[in-house]
Amino acid sequence: MTQHEKFKILSEKFAEITDLRAASSVLYWDQNTYMPPQGAEARGRQMATLSKVAHEKVTNAQIEKLFSDLEGYEKDLPYESHDASFLRLARREYELATKVPADFIAKMVQHFSVSYEAWIRAKGESNFKLIEPFLEKSVDLSLQYSEFFPHKHILDPLIAEQDYGFTAESITNIFSELRSELVPFAKDIISTKKTDFEFLNKKYPKKNQQLFVEKILTEIGYDFSRGRLDLTHHPFMISFALGDIRITNRYDENNFNDSVFGAIHELGHAFYELGNAKELDGNILFGGTSAGVHESQSRLWENMVGRSIDFWQYFYKDFQMLFPEQLKNVSLKTFYAGINNVTPSLIRTESDEVTYNLHVMIRFNLEKQLLEGKLKVKELPEAWNACYLSDLGVKVPDDSHGCLQDVHWYAGLVGGSFQGYTLGNLMSAQFFDAASADLPNLNNDIKNGDFTQLQKWLIENIYCHGKKFTGPEVLKKATKKDLNIANYMNYLKRKFPIK
């Protein structure tokens, strides 16, 4: 058998694994959208079964033999080639999977499914006690999972799951550098006199919010022949194949920001995977390479495009037409200032661009303390509330607005799931600056509702690669720079000048 034939067999085996994971993702999407609550236990079992089968396929002895046989073939391949990238990622997945027993994977998946349903109840009743035993088990499972791998810090294997190439130490360092500049900058802005934007506190009927969201998604370029928009408790994007990439949203009649910018955020995630090269579809190279790069695209579209004055010069009249009473006598200038108002808040997903990363850093530090054993699960609400008072100056009224607001710790591993948001913010500024340098008419394009050139640049420089390269590699290829805080802080200072 030739090397090429062996590579084809290995590719086919990982294609089967990809299909199993996609099937599990369909079940997850259904659980988060239309599944009746009583289906949670069975759904957890079903997803656990699929995960176990996929895990067993990855760790099959024949795959180990194929990797061994293809070592010489891999060494002769150009680093950037499809085959070399496939083998790098496949080998990494195999080495990770062989360290974790299939039964443990199944146990984790089933627990997280049941925990998710418990979180929905706990958040609805604003009662942390309802989720406490589930979170204790999640922390324990997360610790056990990390111990399967060699590591310098207990968080390292969990971070590698989402942002390969980063460690607890490297993230702590860059967060420290960012915090040293961000905290005084945020305090200077917040201390200046603020306007009371009354239009933000009015009621915006759900039906018209939905109409506007569908309009902007369509005009920005979301392909509904390859995607859907559905309702959920916590918005997310999920992909099953290049022709089936879905987003979800939620609507609050007292807060249109949540639905409008939440939808654009998830659209950014969808654009990433919709822009993958066709040859990646159906194999492990399809998708986004890391949480940080994925988040860079959602934040780029949500903030640098969606919250820009250029964007609203095009869309504001349409928004006013849908809400004539709420926005009567509200100028574009006032509206723009209102949606970008910097003020400390309780909810991460609703926070402004300046304070957003403080929310992320709080979560990163708390999960680090939970895993290090410095913080007990039962102490989490009190510790959370103390951080919000000290870092953001806000008092948390209840658990729903506090440590229960995000789903991450209650539906997956505890650790490694939040740093990607801030890494994404930093990367988004670098990507947008690079795109702007190559597209001198970008601002005018956005003013005229033309997003095609920006999408084309992002596809050619980021999206087309899928998972062929690591996050740091994609960033360096597209921007010619390593990760830094300078581009992001310069962006914030331009947008929010201190008077």
Of the two residues 7 and 103, the one the predictor is more confident about is 7
Determine whether the annotation assigns residue 265 to a binding site.
yes
Pairwise CA distance, residues 376 & 96, whole Å? 29
* Radius of gyration of the chain measured on its C-alpha atoms: 23
- Beta strands at 229-231 and 244-249: parallel, antiparallel or unpaired: parallel
- Looking at the structure, tell me whether residues 262 and 364 fall in a common domain: yes
Burial category of 117 from C-beta neighbours within 10 Å (exposed 0-12, middle 13-18, buried 19 and up): buried
Q: Is 266 a catalytic residue?
A: yes
- Looking at the structure, tell me whether residues 98 and 204 fall in a common domain: no
Beta bridge partners of 244: 241
- Burial 229-250, CB ≥16 within 10 A → b, else e: beebebbbbbbbebeebbbbbe
Identify the active-site residue in 74, 80, 177, 266.
Answer: 266
In a domain, 172, yes or no: yes
Q: Which domain holds residue 181?
A: 168-495
* Tens digit of each residue's pLDDT (9 = 90 or more) over 338-365: 999 999 999 998 899 999 999 999 999 9
**Arithmetic mean of pLDDT, 290-310:** 97
Q: Are 353 and 303 in contact (CB under 8 A)?
A: yes
- For the chain, how many helices (H) and strands (E)? 21, 3
In a domain, 100, yes or no: yes
pLDDT for residue 193: 61
pLDDT for residue 261: 95
pLDDT for residue 164: 94
Tokens of 146: 């990390």
In a domain, 470, yes or no: yes
Domain count along the chain? 2
In a domain, 139, yes or no: no
- C-alpha closest to that of 307 among 277, 281, 342, 279: 342
In a domain, 145, yes or no: no
Determine whether the annotation assigns residue 55 to a binding site.
no
Is a pLDDT exceeding 80 seen at residue 35? yes
pLDDT confidence bin for 318, thresholds 50/70/90? very high
In a domain, 117, yes or no: yes
Determine whether the annotation assigns residue 269 to a binding site.
yes
Compute how many other C-beta atoms are within 10 angstroms of the C-beta atom of residue 380.
24
Strands (E), 371-435: none
Mean pLDDT of the chain: 95
In a domain, 108, yes or no: yes
* Tens digit of each residue's pLDDT (9 = 90 or more) over 153-204: 999 999 999 999 999 999 999 999 999 999 999 989 887 766 779 999 999 9
Tokens of 129: 């006690």
Q: Are 189 and 498 in contact (CB under 8 A)?
A: yes
pLDDT for residue 11: 96
Burial category of 319 from C-beta neighbours within 10 Å (exposed 0-12, middle 13-18, buried 19 and up): buried
Q: Give this prediction's pTM.
A: 0.91
Is a pLDDT exceeding 80 seen at residue 299? yes
Beta bridge partners of 402: none
Strands (E), 216-350: 229-231, 237-241, 244-249
Tokens of 385: 């509330």
Concatenate the DSSP letters of all residues of 295-323 into one string: HHHHHIIIIIITTSHHHHHHHHHHHHHHS
**Arithmetic mean of pLDDT, 42-67:** 92
Domain boundary among 70, 103, 125: 125
- Looking at the structure, tell me whether residues 42 and 174 fall in a common domain: no
Q: What is the CATH classification number for the domain harbouring 221?
A: 1.10.1370.30
**Arithmetic mean of pLDDT, 462-478:** 97
- C-alpha closest to that of 166 among 343, 420, 399, 400: 420
- Looking at the structure, tell me whether residues 429 and 325 fall in a common domain: yes
In a domain, 154, yes or no: no
